[in-house]
Amino acid sequence: MGTPFSPATHEWQSAVAELVPTALEGLYVRKFPITPDTAIMTAGSCFAQHVHRHLQDRAWNVIDTETPSIALPRAALNRYGYGLFSARYGNIYTARQMVQLLEEALGRRTPSEPIWQRDGRFFDALRPNVEPEGLGRPRLVREARADHLKHVLRAVRSTDVFVFTLGLTEAWVHRDDGTVYPSAPGILAGEHDPEKYVFYNFTMAEVQQDLDDLRTTLHEIKPGMKILLTVSPVPLTATGSGTHVLSATTYSKSVLRAAAAEVADMYKDVDYFPSYELITAPSAKGTFYDANLRTVSMSGVAAVMDMFLSAHEASDLRGTSLRSGGDDEDARELVCEEALIEAGRA
């Protein structure tokens, strides 16, 4: 006699405990196919860089509107924000920030305090990592940003599937208009001024609403686009919430995971890809993390990509991208503002 929990993938013992972590069958059942020819746009937290890089290395049709189409050493490209995502926006940790970027690109929003300073140099506060030494004048930051926004729109307009990795619920927000920044003021540039900036931890309802808004805005630019949501398995480096960092991580990831599920359940054109589950599964016994128990190991990334490629029936290496030049150890380093927080403490 069967149980109300059949098939086997619904039971912990047979679906997780008895299986090797790389073979969790049925964990990802795709809602729509993605092929090597599908135009894929990537954005999100630093974990999303893995997705971008791996698909690009397999010569999938990953959109990249700002990176030179010349074989250049990857580490150098990444240092200036190239080759990380489909446009040079750097890490986008929250759904709200992504919505704001699109609104700005559409000319409907002007962020507060878009330029930060450090040592007499000027930085784009919404992507402070892309020019590590900053620029000489505020005018240059504005001009570079205007050029970048054109490329963001170009990327969205040519997208079939938008892959977005949710990273955090915590953010630093401008008090005046709610502009969300990818890093706390004072870390990479700018100054922490409590009169201007406030720490904010998004709720599940807010993230869900932001994802809904994101879908609406994306469809406004490119009707019919599909969205694949993932949640970054990378724990928080530090929390501003006042709680223990483990609790803060659990809150953040739980909210993101639940919000992603709600939105994916609501729409046929939104799917959820369980990279978070695969990496954090107890059966992996932490082996998908590096020694710092935070960054995802190469084997973890490989497992995630295998799950993605198997589901889309394209596990064979298709080719080598032009941009894979300079494949050195350094190139494996993700560009992650969070890591800089850690470095600042060392």
Chain residues in the site for other proteins (CB under 8 A): 66, 68-73, 75-77, 79-80, 82, 131-133, 135-136, 140, 143-144, 147, 151, 325-326
Q: Closest distance between other proteins and the C-beta of residue 147, in Å?
A: 4
For other proteins, the closer CB: 122 or 164: 122
Comparing CB distances to other proteins, the nearer of 144 and 302 is: 144
Backbone torsion region of residue 54, taken as left when φ is above 0, otherwise alpha when ψ lies between -120 and 50, otherwise beta: alpha
Phi, psi (degrees; rounded to nearest 5) at 336 = -140, 115
Q: How far is the CB of 130 from other proteins (least distance, A)?
A: 8
State the nearest-atom distance from the C-beta of 49 to other proteins, in Å. Answer: 18
Choose between 71 and 205: whose C-beta lies nearer to other proteins.
71
When the beta carbons of 121 and 196 are compared against other proteins, the nearer one is 121
Distances (CA, A) of 164 to 26, 219, 238, 346: 21, 15, 22, 31
Query: CA-CA distance, 333 to 64, in Å (whole number)?
Result: 19
Strands 197-201 and 121-124: unpaired
Q: How far is the CB of 265 from other proteins (least distance, A)?
A: 39
Q: How far is the CB of 135 from other proteins (least distance, A)?
A: 6
Other Cβ atoms closer than 10 A to 119 = 7
* Residue in 10, 19, 2, 64 with CA at minimum distance from that of residue 282: 19
Q: Compute the C-alpha angle 276/54/64, nearest 5°.
A: 110
Residue 118's contacts (CB-CB under 8 Å, 6 or more residues apart) are 134, 188, 189, 190
Order the strands of the 180-181 sheet from edge to edge: 180-181, 170-174, 197-201
User: Residue 5 CB, nearest distance to other proteins (Å)?
Assistant: 54
Helix (H, G, I), strand (E, B) or coil at 330: helix
Instruction: Transcribe 48-72 into DSSP letters.
Output: HHHHHHHHHHTT--B--SSS-SS--
For the bound state, the minimum distance from the C-beta of residue 144 to other proteins, rounded and expressed in Å, comes to: 6
| CB closer to other proteins, 66 vs 104 | 66
Nearer to other proteins among residue 72 and residue 341 (C-beta): 72
Please, which residue, 146 or 245, has the CB nearer to other proteins? 146
HEC per residue, 170-212: EEEEECCCCCEECCCCCCCCCCCCCCCEEEEECCHHHHHHHHH
| Residue with Cβ nearer other proteins (49 or 232) | 49
Least distance (Å) between residue 157 CB and other proteins: 16
Cβ atoms within 10 Å, residue 266: 12
